[in-house]
Amino acid sequence: EAQVTQNPRYLITVTGKKLTVTCSQNMNHEYMSWYRQDPGLGLRQIYYSMNVEVTDKGDVPEGYKVSRKEKRNFPLILESPSPNQTSLYFCASSLSRTPYNEQFFGPGTRLTVL
């Protein structure tokens, strides 16, 4: 089944403890992206990747890192999480980054930073 998977789905952690949220897609998509969703703010893009080893900042990249060493994986790294990073995170992928290709979203990861 074609899908985007994220792990973990739920995570509660403490301030400053490094964490990684994994994202994997099995559709051979070139483009992958991370978003965060906060009440009243909609979804905001954190980082995106056009292809392997190519990443770029979105609207709210501060406090996050990403890497794209393989086509299928695009992990989101929080080196020193803070409470303002408590949010619902979505990973997305598409065949390539033209608007002709819709983005497929993962199920979301709900992160709480205490």
Residues that bind other proteins (CB under 8 A): 31, 33, 35, 40-45, 48, 50, 58-59, 88, 90, 92, 97-100, 102-105, 107-108
Cβ distance to other proteins smaller for residue 59 or 79: 59
Length of the chain equals 114
Cβ distance to other proteins smaller for residue 3 or 15: 3
Cβ distance to other proteins smaller for residue 69 or 98: 98
The residues pairing with 2 across neighbouring beta strands, listed in sequence order, are: none
CB of 88 to other proteins, least distance (A): 7
Which structure tokens are listed for 28? Answer: 């051979």
- The gap from C-alpha 38 to its chain's centroid, in whole angstroms, comes to 14
Cα–Cα distance for residue pair 28/93, rounded to 1 Å: 9
CB of 16 to other proteins, least distance (A): 28
The residues pairing with 65 across neighbouring beta strands, listed in sequence order, are: 77
